[in-house]
Amino acid sequence: MIRFLTRRRGGARADWTDWFSWAYLALGVLVMFGPVLWLVLSSFKTQSALQEFPPSLWPMGQKQVAVPGSDRPLPVFSLPQPDGTSVERVMIRRVGLEGQFIDPADPARHVERARLANVTPVREMHFAIENYIEPLRQFNFARFLGNSLFVTIVATAITLLINAMCAFALSKYEFPGRNGIFLFIISTLMIPITVVLVPAFLIVTGLGLGNSLWGVILPPAATPTGVFLLRQYMLTIPDELMDAARMDHASEWRLFWRIILPLAAPALAVLAIFSVVWRWNDFLWPLIVLNRQENFTLQLGLAAFQGELQTQWHYLLAMTVVTLLPVTLVFAFLQKYITTGIASSGMK
C-alpha cells in the first residue's frame, strides 16, 4: 500500500507530475469523500453539537457529569483560579450573568460562584449513539427498511427479467417492425417522469394497487435504459452460439436461460446496480403511491424527520447513514463481480 502510494514516475526523485497527480487525486478524494465523512461524523453529534458555531468536524460536545441530587447530567466548565490555573466544576444553577458551580469530586462542599464570561465549557469527544438507537426504537424504522428491501429486491429481479427478455427479442430475432419497436422504446427516454405521473397514478389506483408496495414496484419495472443497455450487449453475443445451441436441441426458452443470460451477466450486473440505486433512492413515485405509514419506504421515513418548522437533524443524519449502507454494500459487491466475473470468450 505504502509502495503503491509513493510510486513515482520514472526516476528516484519525485517529478512535478507526481506532485500534481498527488494533489489532483487528493482533491478528488476530498470532494468525493468529504461530504460522506462529514455525514458519518455528524450523525454521531448531539442536536446541540450540530447547531454549534463554529462547527467542528469531530462529534465534540460539552462534558456532562451526573451529580447526586440532580436527575439530569450537568454541564462541566473550566473555572479560572486566582493562581492562574483552572479547575473543572459542574454548573448546578444559573443566576443572571453568574453561575453556581460545585466540585464534581466533592459535591457536598461549598458552592462556588463565577461570572459566565470568565468560564469556558469543557469539551470532549462524544459519540451520540442514541441518534441511531432512538429512531430505530421509536419510529418504525425496521418496517421502513423491510419495505425498502422488498421493493428494491423484487423490483430489480423483475426489471432484470423482463428487460432481458425484451432485449433478447430485439437483438436476436428478425421480425417486421423490430427497429420501429426499438426506436419507440428508446424514445420514451425523452419523456420525463413528471409528465406521466398523473396517468400512471390513475392506472395504479384503477388496478387497485394504490397504497401497496406492488404499486411502487410494477409501473417502473420496464426501463428503456435497461432494454437499451442489454440489447447493445446481446448484439455482441455471436449468432453462431445460438445456431450451435439450436443444433444442440435447445429450445428458444432454454437458449435464453442457458446461453444468453449467463453470457449477458456483465451487462445484467450493471443494470442490477442501476436498478438497486434507483429503487433504493426513489422518493417521488413511492411518495405518490404510498400514503399509509406502515407501507413507507426508507426514503419516505427519512422525510418524516424533516418537519415544516423543525428538522431533527441528528436523527435525519443518522438514518441517512443507515440508508446509505445497503446500497454501498451492493455496489462494492457487484463491482467486484463485474471485474472478475466476465467469462472469457470462447470465440475467436
Partner 1 sequence: MSSLALRGIVREFGHLRVIHGVDLDVAEGEFVVFVGPSGCGKSTLLRIIAGLDQPNGGDVLIDGIRVNDRRAAERGLAMVFQSYALYPHMTVRQNLAFGLENQRLAKAEIDRRIAEAARMLQIEHLLARKPGQLSGGQRQRVAIGRTVTREPGIFLFDEPLSNLDAELRVQMRVELSALHKRLKATMIYVTHDQTEAMTMADRIVVLRGGRVEQAGSPLHLYNHPANRFVAGFIGSPRMNFLEAVAQGGSTIRVDDMPPVPLPAAAETSDGEAVTLGVRPEHLGFVAEDGLPGTVDIVEHMGGESYVYVTLANGARLTLRNPGQTALHSGEPVRIGISGAAHLFSRAEGEPAIAARRPA
Positions that interact with partner 1 (CB under 8 A): 238, 240-241, 243-251, 254, 258-259, 262-263, 265, 343-348
Bridge partner residues of 98 (DSSP):
95, 115
- Of 185 and 259, nearer to partner 1 (C-beta) is 259
Minimal distance in Å, beta carbon 228 to partner 1?
Answer: 23
Quick one: how many helices (H) and strands (E) in the chain?
Answer: 16, 8
Helix H or strand E segment including 267: helix 265-281
Instruction: Tell me how far apart the alpha carbons of residues 222 and 210 are, in angstroms, rounded to a whole number.
Output: 19
Phi, psi of 242 (to 5 degrees): -70, -40
How far apart are CB 342 and partner 1 at their closest, in Å? 10
Q: What is the CA radius of gyration of the chain?
A: 30
In the complex, the smallest distance separating the C-beta of residue 219 from partner 1, rounded to whole angstroms, is 33
Nearer to partner 1, 293 or 345 (CB): 345
Cβ proximity of 77 and 119 under 8 Å: yes
* Minimum distance of partner 1 from residue 202's CB (angstroms): 44
Residue 265 or 330: which CB sits closer to partner 1?
Answer: 265
Pick 55 or 341: Cβ nearer partner 1: 341
Give the dihedral of Cα atoms 30, 33, 35, 41; nearest 10 deg: -110
* Nearest approach, Cβ of residue 256 and partner 1 (Å): 14
Q: Which is nearer to partner 1, 79 or 164 (CB)?
A: 164
Distances from the Cα of 205 to the Cα of 192, 293, 299, angstroms: 21, 18, 22
Supply angle C-alpha 253, 257, 261, rounded to 5: 130
Nearer to partner 1, 123 or 172 (CB): 172
H or E segment to which residue 137 belongs: helix 130-138
Q: How far is the CB of 161 from partner 1 (least distance, A)?
A: 19
Cα 321 from chain centroid (whole Å): 7
**Least separation, in Å, of the C-beta of 52 and partner 1?**
57
Residue number, 10 or 346, with CB nearest to partner 1: 346
- Which lies closer to partner 1 via its Cβ, residue 15 or residue 248? 248
Q: How far is the CB of 167 from partner 1 (least distance, A)?
A: 18
101: nearest Cα among 115, 116, 112, 85: 112
